[in-house]
Structure 1
């Protein structure tokens, strides 16, 4: 008996390749203000499965290990330490933003992203919301 191959003989996961490609390219997050109106700020981020996110996770793990190695460090799992690490991760996966920010005209850098997310939790939350969802990295 000859085996007939049909479209149901395998699972096509090529749609995941497109998702990975978009994660590597990054997406734009339009930042909204407290009244849910656009602020004009658009932040570009890499996806959770991107090379940049993997590097950020490794760097964050090394940072946690260094903190843990400090003798007597009891500040590893406080809410403040968790938020600091979350902001560090977000800053590392941030690709850039559309315009300089504030009177200081802050251009994108990892340090400036960390400062922005620390000062404005409303921005941090919106970026985190998109960054954590693979579904954010699909073509509309």
Structure 2
């Protein structure tokens, strides 16, 4: 075991405060600035919880229950088509979405889990950007 140093004094323990900060930021959520097809900001900012957050754990449990329910209803465990996977991914992302900065579109969609599902289903470019950040713990590090 190597010893860390703080100033001139040696520390005889492992400092996991960075992990604590990461978990805290995952619980608070981070902003994802959504870019358009030309890689320019759209003005839409979506706030998401991290993969280790309480919200993500609840979303995973709900998703597992939904998969089991689908399998039981279908009498078939082969429910893993690309469409099924995308639908479940969108369901998960909508559950880890905390909100967004302004109403969206002519309909003035406010944030709700149902509206997040609609948004991610209609706009794969938004779904992909949110998914990219939501899956990476490294997205939840203070800079």
Name the TM tier (shorter chain): over 0.9
The one of 43, 47, 62 equivalent to 1:40 is 43
TM-score, length-scaled by structure 2: 0.90
Alignment of 1:96-115 (within 5 A): 96-115=99-118
How many residue pairs match? The answer is: 135
Query: Unpaired segments of 5 or more residues in structure 1?
Result: 1-5
Q: How far apart, in 1, do the equivalents of 2:129 and 2:76 lie?
A: 31
Query: Unpaired segments of 5 or more residues in structure 2?
Result: 1-9
Deviates more, 1:104-113 or 1:10-19: 10-19
- How far 1:70 moved relative to its partner? 1.1
The one of 66, 71, 82 equivalent to 2:69 is 66
TM-score, length-scaled by structure 1: 0.92
1:55 counterpart = 2:58: yes
2:4 matched residue in structure 1: none
Q: How far apart, in 1, do the equivalents of 2:126 and 2:50 lie?
A: 17
- How far 1:15 moved relative to its partner? 1.0
Deviation beyond 4 Å, 4+ runs, structure 1: none
Alignment of 1:77-116 (within 5 A): 77-116=80-119
- How far 1:11 moved relative to its partner? 1.6
